[in-house]
Amino acid sequence: MCGIFGSITRANNNLTEQQKINVANIVGGLAIHMQTRGDESTGIATLDGVNYDIFKTTQKASEFVDSKNFIEMMSKFPLVVLGHTRLGTVGEITPQNAHPFRKGNIIGCHNGSVYNWREINAQANVDSEVIFEVINDFGYKKGLTKLRGSFAIVWTDLRNPHAVNLVTHKNPLILAYVKELETYFWASEVEAITSTIASVVGVNKATIFDFSEEDDKVMTIDENLHYRTNMVAFGEYESYADRHANDNNGHTSHTGGYSEDDDIVDGIIYPPKVNYTLDKLDDPFWEKMVNAREEDNFVKRVEAKQCGSCSGEVKIKYDSGFYFDWEIMMPICMDCIRREGINYEDTGEWISKYRYDQLLIEYYVEQRKGKSAN
Protein backbone atom coordinates (compact mmCIF):
# COMPACT_ATOMS: atom_id res chain seq x y z
CA MET A 1 0.00 0.00 0.00
CA CYS A 2 1.25 3.49 -0.87
CA GLY A 3 0.12 7.08 -0.49
CA ILE A 4 -0.12 9.89 -3.03
CA PHE A 5 -0.20 13.59 -2.20
CA GLY A 6 0.48 16.85 -3.99
CA SER A 7 -0.73 20.21 -5.25
CA ILE A 8 -1.08 22.55 -8.22
CA THR A 9 -1.26 26.33 -7.76
CA ARG A 10 -2.51 28.80 -10.35
CA ALA A 11 0.44 30.08 -12.36
CA ASN A 12 -0.30 33.82 -12.28
CA ASN A 13 -1.41 33.87 -8.66
CA ASN A 14 -1.58 36.75 -6.21
CA LEU A 15 -0.61 34.82 -3.12
CA THR A 16 1.09 36.56 -0.22
CA GLU A 17 4.24 35.10 1.28
CA GLN A 18 2.18 33.70 4.16
CA GLN A 19 -0.26 32.05 1.77
CA LYS A 20 2.62 30.45 -0.12
CA ILE A 21 3.92 29.15 3.22
CA ASN A 22 0.44 27.78 3.92
CA VAL A 23 0.52 25.83 0.65
CA ALA A 24 3.91 24.36 1.58
CA ASN A 25 2.67 23.49 5.08
CA ILE A 26 -0.36 21.69 3.70
CA VAL A 27 1.82 19.66 1.33
CA GLY A 28 4.09 18.73 4.24
CA GLY A 29 1.10 17.78 6.38
CA LEU A 30 -0.31 15.57 3.63
CA ALA A 31 3.05 13.83 3.33
CA ILE A 32 3.05 13.02 7.05
CA HIS A 33 -0.53 11.73 6.88
CA MET A 34 0.41 9.46 3.98
CA GLN A 35 3.12 7.82 6.08
CA THR A 36 0.47 5.44 7.44
CA ARG A 37 0.08 4.11 3.90
CA GLY A 38 3.80 3.68 3.32
CA ASP A 39 6.77 4.34 5.58
CA GLU A 40 9.63 2.77 3.62
CA SER A 41 10.33 5.59 1.15
CA THR A 42 9.20 9.15 0.45
CA GLY A 43 9.68 11.34 -2.60
CA ILE A 44 8.51 14.53 -4.31
CA ALA A 45 8.86 16.20 -7.68
CA THR A 46 8.45 19.98 -7.93
CA LEU A 47 7.88 22.03 -11.08
CA ASP A 48 7.70 25.78 -11.64
CA GLY A 49 6.72 25.72 -15.31
CA VAL A 50 10.33 25.83 -16.50
CA ASN A 51 12.48 23.72 -14.20
CA TYR A 52 11.83 20.58 -12.18
CA ASP A 53 13.47 18.81 -9.23
CA ILE A 54 13.03 15.26 -7.90
CA PHE A 55 14.08 14.21 -4.41
CA LYS A 56 13.59 10.61 -3.19
CA THR A 57 14.87 8.83 -0.08
CA THR A 58 14.13 5.80 2.10
CA GLN A 59 13.14 8.10 4.94
CA LYS A 60 9.73 8.12 6.56
CA ALA A 61 7.66 11.14 5.60
CA SER A 62 7.92 12.56 9.11
CA GLU A 63 11.71 12.68 8.68
CA PHE A 64 11.56 13.62 5.00
CA VAL A 65 9.67 16.89 5.58
CA ASP A 66 12.40 18.04 7.98
CA SER A 67 15.17 17.36 5.47
CA LYS A 68 17.19 20.17 3.93
CA ASN A 69 16.23 19.14 0.40
CA PHE A 70 12.48 19.17 1.06
CA ILE A 71 12.62 22.53 2.83
CA GLU A 72 14.69 24.10 0.05
CA MET A 73 12.44 22.72 -2.70
CA MET A 74 9.25 23.94 -1.03
CA SER A 75 10.77 27.33 -0.17
CA LYS A 76 10.90 28.03 -3.92
CA PHE A 77 7.08 27.82 -3.87
CA PRO A 78 6.71 25.48 -6.87
CA LEU A 79 3.52 25.55 -8.89
CA VAL A 80 3.24 21.75 -8.99
CA VAL A 81 4.20 19.16 -6.36
CA LEU A 82 3.89 15.40 -6.92
CA GLY A 83 4.47 13.38 -3.74
CA HIS A 84 4.46 9.72 -2.73
CA THR A 85 5.02 7.48 0.29
CA ARG A 86 5.90 3.85 -0.40
CA LEU A 87 5.23 0.49 1.17
CA GLY A 88 7.18 -1.63 -1.29
CA THR A 89 5.76 -4.88 -2.67
CA VAL A 90 7.76 -5.14 -5.91
CA GLY A 91 11.41 -4.11 -5.94
CA GLU A 92 13.95 -3.33 -3.24
CA ILE A 93 13.63 -0.41 -0.85
CA THR A 94 16.06 2.07 -2.38
CA PRO A 95 15.91 5.77 -3.32
CA GLN A 96 16.00 4.72 -6.99
CA ASN A 97 12.87 2.60 -6.56
CA ALA A 98 10.95 5.32 -4.72
CA HIS A 99 8.40 7.50 -6.53
CA PRO A 100 8.08 9.84 -8.39
CA PHE A 101 9.57 8.29 -11.53
CA ARG A 102 10.70 10.11 -14.63
CA LYS A 103 10.38 8.23 -17.91
CA GLY A 104 11.17 10.40 -20.90
CA ASN A 105 8.93 13.45 -20.63
CA ILE A 106 6.67 11.94 -17.97
CA ILE A 107 7.06 12.39 -14.20
CA GLY A 108 4.55 10.61 -12.01
CA CYS A 109 3.43 8.69 -8.91
CA HIS A 110 1.27 5.61 -8.55
CA ASN A 111 -0.65 3.88 -5.78
CA GLY A 112 -1.74 0.36 -6.64
CA SER A 113 -0.32 -2.56 -8.55
CA VAL A 114 0.46 -3.37 -12.18
CA TYR A 115 -0.30 -7.07 -12.56
CA ASN A 116 1.19 -7.43 -16.06
CA TRP A 117 4.31 -5.30 -15.60
CA ARG A 118 6.64 -8.16 -16.56
CA GLU A 119 4.88 -8.45 -19.92
CA ILE A 120 5.59 -4.77 -20.60
CA ASN A 121 9.15 -4.55 -19.25
CA ALA A 122 10.59 -7.52 -17.39
CA GLN A 123 13.71 -5.46 -16.63
CA ALA A 124 11.82 -2.85 -14.60
CA ASN A 125 12.84 -2.61 -10.95
CA VAL A 126 9.36 -1.59 -9.79
CA ASP A 127 6.02 -2.42 -11.37
CA SER A 128 4.92 1.24 -11.31
CA GLU A 129 7.74 2.27 -13.63
CA VAL A 130 6.03 0.73 -16.65
CA ILE A 131 3.03 3.04 -16.25
CA PHE A 132 5.07 6.09 -17.08
CA GLU A 133 6.96 4.26 -19.80
CA VAL A 134 3.78 3.44 -21.71
CA ILE A 135 2.34 6.93 -21.18
CA ASN A 136 5.57 8.42 -22.52
CA ASP A 137 5.79 6.03 -25.47
CA PHE A 138 2.14 5.85 -26.53
CA GLY A 139 0.32 8.76 -24.85
CA TYR A 140 -2.04 8.12 -21.97
CA LYS A 141 -5.12 7.11 -24.00
CA LYS A 142 -3.35 4.21 -25.70
CA GLY A 143 -0.80 3.60 -22.95
CA LEU A 144 -3.34 2.98 -20.18
CA THR A 145 -5.05 0.26 -22.24
CA LYS A 146 -1.86 -1.79 -21.93
CA LEU A 147 -2.05 -1.87 -18.10
CA ARG A 148 -3.91 -4.37 -15.93
CA GLY A 149 -4.24 -3.85 -12.20
CA SER A 150 -5.37 -1.18 -9.75
CA PHE A 151 -4.44 2.44 -10.09
CA ALA A 152 -4.42 5.94 -8.69
CA ILE A 153 -1.98 7.85 -10.89
CA VAL A 154 -0.85 11.47 -10.94
CA TRP A 155 1.61 12.67 -13.57
CA THR A 156 2.85 15.65 -15.52
CA ASP A 157 4.34 15.94 -18.99
CA LEU A 158 7.46 18.10 -19.30
CA ARG A 159 6.15 19.24 -22.68
CA ASN A 160 3.29 20.86 -20.74
CA PRO A 161 4.79 21.30 -17.25
CA HIS A 162 2.09 23.67 -15.99
CA ALA A 163 -0.54 20.91 -16.02
CA VAL A 164 -1.16 17.77 -13.95
CA ASN A 165 -3.15 14.67 -14.88
CA LEU A 166 -5.03 12.43 -12.46
CA VAL A 167 -6.79 9.12 -13.01
CA THR A 168 -8.10 6.29 -10.85
CA HIS A 169 -9.10 2.71 -11.50
CA LYS A 170 -10.32 0.94 -8.33
CA ASN A 171 -8.06 3.00 -6.04
CA PRO A 172 -8.75 6.08 -3.92
CA LEU A 173 -7.82 9.69 -4.60
CA ILE A 174 -9.33 12.71 -2.86
CA LEU A 175 -9.16 16.15 -4.47
CA ALA A 176 -9.67 19.51 -2.71
CA TYR A 177 -9.74 23.10 -3.92
CA VAL A 178 -8.81 25.91 -1.53
CA LYS A 179 -9.96 29.15 -3.12
CA GLU A 180 -7.95 31.53 -0.93
CA LEU A 181 -4.75 29.66 -1.84
CA GLU A 182 -5.66 29.28 -5.53
CA THR A 183 -4.55 25.67 -5.21
CA TYR A 184 -5.82 22.15 -5.73
CA PHE A 185 -4.52 19.52 -3.28
CA TRP A 186 -4.86 15.75 -3.45
CA ALA A 187 -4.18 12.74 -1.23
CA SER A 188 -5.15 9.09 -0.91
CA GLU A 189 -7.40 9.59 2.13
CA VAL A 190 -10.12 12.10 2.88
CA GLU A 191 -9.10 12.38 6.54
CA ALA A 192 -5.66 13.56 5.46
CA ILE A 193 -7.14 16.25 3.25
CA THR A 194 -9.74 17.57 5.69
CA SER A 195 -7.61 17.60 8.83
CA THR A 196 -4.48 19.04 7.17
CA ILE A 197 -6.25 21.87 5.39
CA ALA A 198 -8.30 22.71 8.49
CA SER A 199 -5.18 22.83 10.67
CA VAL A 200 -3.47 25.31 8.32
CA VAL A 201 -6.22 27.61 7.03
CA GLY A 202 -9.26 26.69 9.13
CA VAL A 203 -12.41 24.64 8.63
CA ASN A 204 -14.81 24.96 5.72
CA LYS A 205 -12.11 26.49 3.51
CA ALA A 206 -11.98 23.71 0.91
CA THR A 207 -14.26 22.14 -1.66
CA ILE A 208 -13.61 18.41 -1.43
CA PHE A 209 -14.70 15.54 -3.61
CA ASP A 210 -13.80 11.90 -4.04
CA PHE A 211 -12.09 11.75 -7.41
CA SER A 212 -12.17 7.93 -7.35
CA GLU A 213 -15.90 8.18 -8.05
CA GLU A 214 -14.70 9.28 -11.51
CA ASP A 215 -12.91 5.98 -12.25
CA ASP A 216 -11.41 5.61 -15.73
CA LYS A 217 -11.58 9.33 -16.39
CA VAL A 218 -8.40 11.41 -16.75
CA MET A 219 -8.69 14.90 -15.29
CA THR A 220 -6.18 17.42 -16.61
CA ILE A 221 -5.80 20.61 -14.54
CA ASP A 222 -4.01 23.43 -16.34
CA GLU A 223 -2.03 26.48 -15.20
CA ASN A 224 -5.24 28.50 -14.74
CA LEU A 225 -6.81 25.67 -12.72
CA HIS A 226 -9.25 25.00 -15.52
CA TYR A 227 -9.82 21.31 -16.03
CA ARG A 228 -11.04 18.91 -18.65
CA THR A 229 -11.80 15.20 -18.47
CA ASN A 230 -11.33 12.36 -20.93
CA MET A 231 -12.65 8.82 -20.62
CA VAL A 232 -9.98 6.12 -20.84
CA ALA A 233 -9.85 2.34 -20.68
CA PHE A 234 -7.48 0.13 -18.72
CA GLY A 235 -6.69 -3.47 -19.62
CA GLU A 236 -9.21 -5.98 -18.31
CA TYR A 237 -8.37 -7.97 -15.20
CA GLU A 238 -10.37 -10.71 -13.51
CA SER A 239 -10.27 -9.97 -9.80
CA TYR A 240 -9.88 -12.41 -6.92
CA ALA A 241 -13.55 -11.89 -6.13
CA ASP A 242 -14.60 -12.64 -9.71
CA ARG A 243 -12.51 -15.79 -9.86
CA HIS A 244 -13.83 -17.16 -6.58
CA ALA A 245 -17.36 -15.78 -6.35
CA ASN A 246 -19.06 -18.93 -7.66
CA ASP A 247 -17.45 -22.17 -6.68
CA ASN A 248 -18.50 -24.95 -4.28
CA ASN A 249 -21.21 -26.30 -6.62
CA GLY A 250 -22.45 -22.87 -7.59
CA HIS A 251 -22.70 -21.46 -4.07
CA THR A 252 -21.14 -18.08 -3.43
CA SER A 253 -17.90 -18.47 -1.51
CA HIS A 254 -15.98 -16.07 0.73
CA THR A 255 -14.72 -13.03 -1.13
CA GLY A 256 -13.17 -11.10 1.70
CA GLY A 257 -15.80 -8.40 1.74
CA TYR A 258 -14.98 -7.25 -1.78
CA SER A 259 -17.26 -4.72 -3.40
CA GLU A 260 -17.01 -1.90 -5.87
CA ASP A 261 -16.39 0.40 -2.91
CA ASP A 262 -13.31 -1.47 -1.71
CA ASP A 263 -9.87 0.09 -1.96
CA ILE A 264 -7.66 -2.22 -4.03
CA VAL A 265 -4.07 -1.33 -3.31
CA ASP A 266 -0.84 -2.91 -4.50
CA GLY A 267 -2.74 -5.88 -5.91
CA ILE A 268 -4.39 -6.73 -2.60
CA ILE A 269 -7.61 -5.68 -0.96
CA TYR A 270 -7.76 -2.94 1.64
CA PRO A 271 -11.36 -2.65 2.88
CA PRO A 272 -12.91 0.81 3.23
CA LYS A 273 -13.01 2.49 6.63
CA VAL A 274 -16.50 1.76 7.84
CA ASN A 275 -17.78 2.06 11.39
CA TYR A 276 -18.45 -1.62 12.04
CA THR A 277 -20.63 -2.45 15.01
CA LEU A 278 -20.39 -5.50 17.24
CA ASP A 279 -23.66 -6.89 15.94
CA LYS A 280 -22.57 -6.79 12.30
CA LEU A 281 -21.82 -10.48 12.01
CA ASP A 282 -23.16 -10.87 8.48
CA ASP A 283 -19.89 -9.58 7.03
CA PRO A 284 -18.42 -12.34 4.82
CA PHE A 285 -14.92 -11.60 6.11
CA TRP A 286 -16.08 -12.06 9.71
CA GLU A 287 -18.04 -15.18 8.71
CA LYS A 288 -14.90 -16.64 7.15
CA MET A 289 -13.01 -16.12 10.37
CA VAL A 290 -15.55 -17.46 12.86
CA ASN A 291 -16.26 -20.51 10.72
CA ALA A 292 -12.60 -21.49 10.51
CA ARG A 293 -11.69 -24.74 12.24
CA GLU A 294 -10.11 -24.36 15.68
CA GLU A 295 -6.71 -25.53 14.46
CA ASP A 296 -6.85 -22.99 11.65
CA ASN A 297 -8.15 -20.11 13.72
CA PHE A 298 -7.55 -16.77 12.00
CA VAL A 299 -6.70 -14.71 15.08
CA LYS A 300 -4.32 -17.31 16.49
CA ARG A 301 -2.50 -17.59 13.18
CA VAL A 302 -2.13 -13.82 12.90
CA GLU A 303 -0.98 -13.34 16.48
CA ALA A 304 1.65 -16.07 16.03
CA LYS A 305 3.30 -13.77 13.45
CA GLN A 306 4.87 -16.69 11.57
CA CYS A 307 5.11 -16.47 7.79
CA GLY A 308 3.29 -19.29 6.03
CA SER A 309 5.85 -19.26 3.23
CA CYS A 310 9.31 -19.00 4.80
CA SER A 311 8.40 -19.63 8.49
CA GLY A 312 10.14 -16.37 9.39
CA GLU A 313 8.65 -13.66 11.56
CA VAL A 314 5.88 -11.53 10.08
CA LYS A 315 6.53 -7.95 11.11
CA ILE A 316 2.92 -6.91 11.21
CA LYS A 317 2.67 -3.19 10.52
CA TYR A 318 -0.17 -2.22 12.83
CA ASP A 319 -0.29 1.28 11.38
CA SER A 320 -1.08 -0.08 7.93
CA GLY A 321 -1.94 -3.78 8.08
CA PHE A 322 -0.66 -7.17 6.97
CA TYR A 323 -1.12 -9.74 4.24
CA PHE A 324 -3.08 -12.94 4.89
CA ASP A 325 -3.23 -16.03 2.67
CA TRP A 326 -6.65 -17.66 3.05
CA GLU A 327 -5.59 -20.87 1.31
CA ILE A 328 -3.03 -21.82 3.95
CA MET A 329 -4.66 -19.71 6.71
CA MET A 330 -1.43 -17.91 7.60
CA PRO A 331 0.02 -14.39 7.26
CA ILE A 332 2.81 -13.79 4.75
CA CYS A 333 5.87 -11.62 5.37
CA MET A 334 6.67 -8.67 3.12
CA ASP A 335 9.96 -10.25 2.01
CA CYS A 336 8.09 -13.21 0.53
CA ILE A 337 5.50 -10.94 -1.08
CA ARG A 338 8.24 -8.92 -2.75
CA ARG A 339 10.15 -12.03 -3.80
CA GLU A 340 7.10 -13.83 -5.19
CA GLY A 341 5.50 -10.72 -6.67
CA ILE A 342 1.87 -11.28 -7.65
CA ASN A 343 1.81 -15.00 -6.88
CA TYR A 344 -0.21 -14.45 -3.70
CA GLU A 345 -2.96 -12.32 -5.20
CA ASP A 346 -5.10 -15.36 -6.08
CA THR A 347 -5.32 -16.66 -2.53
CA GLY A 348 -4.99 -13.76 -0.12
CA GLU A 349 -5.67 -10.16 0.73
CA TRP A 350 -4.41 -7.16 2.65
CA ILE A 351 -6.00 -6.77 6.09
CA SER A 352 -5.97 -3.17 7.29
CA LYS A 353 -5.26 -2.30 10.92
CA TYR A 354 -8.73 -0.79 11.24
CA ARG A 355 -10.36 -3.91 9.88
CA TYR A 356 -8.36 -6.23 12.10
CA ASP A 357 -9.05 -4.18 15.23
CA GLN A 358 -12.79 -4.43 14.62
CA LEU A 359 -12.59 -8.15 13.95
CA LEU A 360 -10.57 -8.69 17.12
CA ILE A 361 -13.28 -7.00 19.16
CA GLU A 362 -15.96 -9.12 17.54
CA TYR A 363 -13.87 -12.26 17.95
CA TYR A 364 -13.40 -11.80 21.68
CA VAL A 365 -17.04 -10.87 22.16
CA GLU A 366 -17.97 -14.10 20.41
CA GLN A 367 -15.49 -16.02 22.55
CA ARG A 368 -17.09 -14.67 25.70
CA LYS A 369 -20.54 -15.53 24.40
CA GLY A 370 -19.37 -19.12 23.86
CA LYS A 371 -17.95 -19.43 27.37
CA SER A 372 -21.13 -18.00 28.88
CA ALA A 373 -23.24 -20.52 26.96
CA ASN A 374 -21.15 -23.36 28.39
Q: Report the share of the chain in percent with pLDDT over 70.
A: 71
Mean pLDDT check: name the lowest of 66-75, 87-96, 337-346: 337-346
* CA-wise closest residue to 71 among 55, 52, 47: 55
Among 173, 199, 231, the domain boundary falls at 231
Q: CA triplet 120, 260, 144: central angle to 5 degrees? A: 25
Residue 331 has pLDDT above 90, yes or no: no
The residue ranking higher by pLDDT, 65 or 246, is 65
Residues 203 and 271 in one domain: no
What is the per-residue pLDDT for 366? 59
Of the ranges 117-126, 206-215, 337-346, the best mean pLDDT one: 117-126
CATH of the domain at 164: 3.60.20.10
Pair (142, 57) in one structural domain: yes
Q: Does residue 365 share a domain with residue 246?
A: yes
Q: Are residues 49 and 148 in the same domain?
A: yes
Q: Are residues 185 and 333 in the same domain?
A: no
Question: pLDDT exceeding 90 applies to what percent of the chain?
Answer: 51
Mean pLDDT of the 191-198 span: 92
C-alpha distances in angstroms, 161 versus 5, 260, 325? 18, 34, 43
DSSP assignment of 114-167 equals ETTHHHH-TT-SSTTHHHHHHHHHH-HHHHGGG--EEEEEEEEETTEEEEEEEE
Shared-domain flag, residues 157 and 263: no
Apex CA 49: angle with CA 45 and CA 52, to 5°?
30
Q: How many residues does the chain have?
A: 374
Using one digit for the tens of pLDDT, what is the confidence trace for 114-140? 988 989 999 999 999 999 999 999 999
Number of H helices, E strands in the chain: 12, 20
User: pTM of the prediction?
Assistant: 0.70
- Answer yes or no: do 202 and 255 share one domain: no
Same domain, 153 and 104: yes
For the CA atoms of the chain, what is the radius of gyration?
21
Q: State the CB neighbour count (10 A cutoff) for residue 80.
A: 25
Q: Are 107 and 113 in contact (CB under 8 A)?
A: no
Where is the domain boundary, 209, 231, 253?
A: 231
Q: Are residues 135 and 255 in the same domain?
A: no
Residues forming beta bridges with residue 210, ordered by sequence position:
174
Q: How far apart are CA 367 and CA 1, in angstroms?
A: 32
Query: Element (H or E) spanning 32, and its range?
Result: helix 17-33
Inform me whether the pLDDT recorded for 225 exceeds 90.
Answer: yes
| Residue 49 CB-density burial (10 A; 0-12 exposed, 13-18 middle, 19+ buried) | middle
Residue 92's pLDDT is 86
Are 256 and 227 members of one domain?
no
- Using the 3D structure, point to which of 231, 253, 274 is the last residue of a domain: 231
Q: How large is the average pLDDT for residues 336-342?
A: 63
Q: Tell me how many domains the chain contains.
A: 2
Per-residue model confidence (pLDDT) at position 360: 66
Which residue range(s) make up the domain with 301?
240-373
Which of 101-110, 163-172, 193-202, 307-316 is predicted least confidently?
A: 307-316
Q: Whole-angstrom Cα distance, residue 346 to residue 323?
A: 12
Q: Tell me, yes or no, whether 79 and 179 share the same domain.
A: yes
Q: Does 98 lie in the same domain as 10?
A: yes
Burial of 126 (0-12, 13-18, 19+ CB in 10 A): buried
